[in-house]
Structure 1
């Protein structure tokens, strides 16, 4: 009896049954979540496919949650995350031409983009842009005075002459926040890593040169499609590198 082996290599010891059960439960849970599309990788793919879906801009004339961060990107291909609707806030009829110094709101498209409004307010210790610490710009669900903007002529010397005239699409302009009187700016020296790659911080801050004129970081284009139905021209593309507004998901 002393030479009879009571243990063999294939004998399971300890909490082996519990470990096997846990592994089986984990696999079952993984497969169920995969079937429902709840895996993190599946959610990321869905968000990117939805928010980068191409949209068609107007001729010249699942939903993102708010508050949503914004950034400046280099890709000017119109899609749901960078196409905006100019909305009336002063009682003017929707569809009428936008005029210099006329208040308006910038809203994302409806549907997955959420219909959110570009919003800003005075910065303080707790509420400011992450990198530059300047005035924060975000997307909010509700429109109010904090989401009012106006367009100024690019040349300060021509602003009085152009006040009240229609804004021509695809020309350089200044986008000014009505409450704080700060101009929308994109800061290339402050980069952000978003789910869509390396992009640039947006803020509301007027950067003036020695001649008291806004610097390039405050220059914007209100782009529309070609009236004939074609998309942005090559000239438009060369002028608008790194000067588009992109949404990139809820703020944390």
Structure 2
């Protein structure tokens, strides 16, 4: 009678090396997990930091002040007639946001420059889309920002890194990734290339408004001091980010047939909502005057 000498428990080949390799991989995994170095842990920590909920400054007098924490929102095309829209669907409101590359996102302890930007449809205030109005001429925090006055747009302190919004003339190795227009970046240094000024939306009355306080939560134009180009969203060029598809931003002046800036150059400095600290002023409903007539399309048809 023959005896079976082989069964599934018999180890063949380099079984000892395979066992050691599996033990080393498990030990390495447990060590990384203990130190918080696993990719899923880094991603979770990153989301907790960059999407950390923040509170915007509430304007008590209706004007912008140095030191205010605000959001920069492009209101889109919602007020443009459908026959004049550039695309089939109206451009939704988007917020200027930090767009870090993959390496910096997972390895840096805070946002480091140079860092790219994009426009996101996420409109709730967080570390990614909240900026601070910063003085460059010695004006103290709390003083009102005026039309034509130079200022810097900075990220928040802490994880934001206090970086400044930068732009410069187009060069072969310095331009927007998709549109090839004037680049926008966040950098650490503060100089003339990181200074901007606010202009009133209507170009016919800009001279009269020079030196007056800038109201918050209204459409304005943000102009780069050195190049003279305006902060712009480029909805025709989308970027693939860790937060989905988002629109590219650049510094470029888009003019219509009346020599006025189009919706791509319209921006709103959004403050906090005074009636609800968890939301922004952009979310406040438009007040309707009492006794206002109902639009024809809103009238309820009478029963026959």
Please, what TM-score do these two structures have when normalized by structure 2?
0.73
Please, what TM-score do these two structures have when normalized by structure 1?
0.87
Residue in structure 2 matched with residue 74 of structure 1 by the alignment = 121
Change in 2 beyond 3 A, CA 1:236/1:128? farther
CA distance in 1: counterparts of 2:248 and 2:144, whole angstroms: 30
Matched residues, number: 237
Please give the secondary structure, in 1, of the residue aligned with 2:237: strand
Residue in structure 2 matched with residue 197 of structure 1 by the alignment = 244
Change in 2 beyond 3 A, CA 1:177/1:236? farther
Q: Is the 1:169–1:222 Cα contact (8 Å) retained in structure 2? A: yes
Q: Is the 2:217–2:281 Cα contact (8 Å) retained in structure 1? A: no
Shift of 1:147: 0.7
- Output one character per residue of 1:81-131: Cα deviation in whole Å (capped at 9) or x when no partner: 111111111122222100111100011110111111111111212121111
CA distance in 2: counterparts of 1:214 and 1:88, whole angstroms: 26
Superposed, which structure 2 residues align to 1:238-249 within 5 Å? none
CA distance in 1: counterparts of 2:273 and 2:262, whole angstroms: 28
Q: Is the 1:127–1:136 Cα contact (8 Å) retained in structure 2? A: yes
- Output one character per residue of 1:132-173: Cα deviation in whole Å (capped at 9) or x when no partner: 111111111121111111111111001001011110001101
Q: Is the 1:72–1:199 Cα contact (8 Å) retained in structure 2? A: yes
Q: Is the 2:217–2:282 Cα contact (8 Å) retained in structure 1? A: no
Shift of 1:63: 1.3
Match of 1:65 among 112, 115, 118: 112
CA distance in 2: counterparts of 1:235 and 1:35, whole angstroms: 42
Superposed, which structure 2 residues align to 1:122-141 within 5 Å? 122-141=169-188
CA distance in 2: counterparts of 1:227 and 1:196, whole angstroms: 29
Q: Greater relative contact order (Cα 8 A, min sep 6): structure 1 or 2? A: 1
What is the root-mean-square deviation of aligned Cα atoms in Å?
2.0
Match of 2:153 among 106, 109, 113: 106
Shift of 1:228: 5.6
Change in 2 beyond 3 A, CA 1:236/1:135? farther
Structure 1 alignment gaps of length 5 or more: 239-252
Structure 2 alignment gaps of length 5 or more: 60-64, 66-108, 287-304
Change in 2 beyond 3 A, CA 1:210/1:190? same
Residue in structure 2 matched with residue 36 of structure 1 by the alignment = 35
Residue in structure 2 matched with residue 248 of structure 1 by the alignment = none
